[in-house]
Amino acid sequence: QDVPPYTEDCRSGTYPPSGPTYRGDVSWYTVNLDQPPSDRWRKIISDKKQPLTAMMQHIKDLTKYIFHTEKLIDLVDTKLPGLVGKLPPPFDEEIKGIADESGLPLGEVMLFNIFYEIFTV
């Protein structure tokens, strides 16, 4: 894996982060676990609604492009919501709260949360 300039010798002096490989600090939020699960993520989701919707839309566009059909998306939107209740608590209610706050279809929010298992395909 030595393919200069795509690989480089060990960097130094990169911390504190700055320069072209640093896009910014990650912002902090608090989730109150004493709240009902469906309310915990409301603040974060109301701040991140737009990028979350954009990311979901890209996944849908990609699915349509690869499989040349919207059937898979329909399946996600119609069938997955029936399975959310089978997820272990508190994740089922947290995912419902995220769908409610973001306005995204429940099936798509669930798909995002099980993407690791799906993606291993």
Partner 1 sequence: CTSVVAEDTSGKLLHARNLDFGLFLGWDVKNSTWMISELLKPLVVNVNFQRNNKTVFVSTGFAGYVGMLTGMKPGILTLTMNERFSLDGGYIGVLEWILGIRQGAWMSFLTRSVLENATSYEEAKTLLSKTVLLAPAYFILGGNQSGEGCVITRSRQSCLDIWELDIQKGKWYVLETNYDHWKPPLPIDNRRDPAMKCMNRTTQKNISIATIYDMLSTKPVLNKLTTYTTVMSVSENKLEGYLRDCPDPCMPW
Binding string, 72-101, against partner 1, x = CB under 8 A?
A: -----------x--xxx--x--xx--x---
Q: Is 62 in the site for partner 1 (CB under 8 A)?
A: yes
Q: Is 121 in the site for partner 1 (CB under 8 A)?
A: yes
Supply 79's token pair.
Answer: 């069938």
Task: Using CB under 8 A, count the residues that bind partner 1.
Answer: 62
Q: Is 118 in the site for partner 1 (CB under 8 A)?
A: yes
- Asked if 40 and 32 count as a contact pair (C-beta separation under 8 A), the reply is yes
Supply 62's token pair.
Answer: 């990609």
- Rounded Cα distance between 33 and 117, Å, is 26
Q: Is 106 in the site for partner 1 (CB under 8 A)?
A: no
Which positions from 3 through 42 interact with partner 1, judged by CB under 8 A?
3, 5-17, 20-34, 41
- Rounded Cα distance between 105 and 83, Å, is 13
